[in-house]
A and B are shown apart, each in its own frame.
Chain A
């Protein structure tokens, strides 16, 4: 059974600070996905990581993938309030999701 574990599950951080969300998965997977979900909304795709060592950046978010360690990270740089949301990682097949990280960025 594929397990996807995220930590932390809850994160409160001040604006301007940096932090990393971790995503571990239990079986071999070549693709890892990061999504953002705002309250009451569906999922917004952030990143798709397709190979070992892949690194992608968009704005203040940067995601990386280490398939050997079965670990992906989502790094937040100089957080702003607009980043407050729940972030999910997911691996195939059929996208098995982690429990999500609820991020709250405060002034």
Chain B
């Protein structure tokens, strides 16, 4: 089945530094990828939608200069948290949608998530 690889799974960084999270579709091409953040015991909140070769579309309230998204190829999207602060600590999950959905999952595959802790 479709696999999305997300790295790193956990990262601890100092306040003020930047962190890059990678999301790769391993066996399919993803025209669209989505980035979510999830606080403890809460739901997933969509941060942005990225389309290969174009600028990401950010949800209201998400700072595009702080959360830089790059989707340079059909298999890779990156999220960079710039000048991270403790309030950015969260669980970040990416999702990729195939060019054509396959099977019952109909095109959405989730990465394993990245636990970011800013100290």
Contacts and interface: CB of A to CB of B under 8 A. Distances in A.
Interface of A: 31, 33, 40-43, 45, 47-48, 50, 88, 94-100, 102
B14 to A, nearest CB: 23
A98 B43 contact: yes
B110 A31 contact: no
B87 interface: no
Q: Majority SS of interface residues in chain B?
A: strand
Interface residues of B, number: 20
B113 to A, nearest CB: 4
B113 A42 contact: yes
Contact of B113 (A41, A47, A102): A41
Given A48-B104, A94-B49, A43 B110 contact: yes
B75 interface: no
Contact of B106 (A41, A48, A102): A48
Given A48-B104, A95-B95, A41 B43 contact: no
Instruction: Pick the most buried of B6, B43, B46: most chain A CB atoms within 10 A of its CB.
Output: B43
A95 B34 contact: yes
Contacts of B41: 102
A45 B95 CA distance: 12
Contact of B112 (A42, A97, A102): A42
Interface in B13-62: 34, 41-46, 49
Nearest to B115: A40
5 contacts: A42-B6, A43-B93, A45-B108, A95-B44, A95-B108
Q: What 10 A-B pairs come out closest when comparing CB atoms?
A: A42-B113, A43-B110, A99-B43, A97-B44, A42-B112, A97-B43, A48-B106, A42-B110, A100-B43, A48-B104
A47 to B, nearest CB: 8
A50 B44 CA distance: 22
A40 B108 CA distance: 20
Nearest to A47: B104
A43 B108 CA distance: 11
Interface string B97-116: 00000001110101111010
Given A94-B46, A97-B43, A99-B42, A33 B108 contact: yes
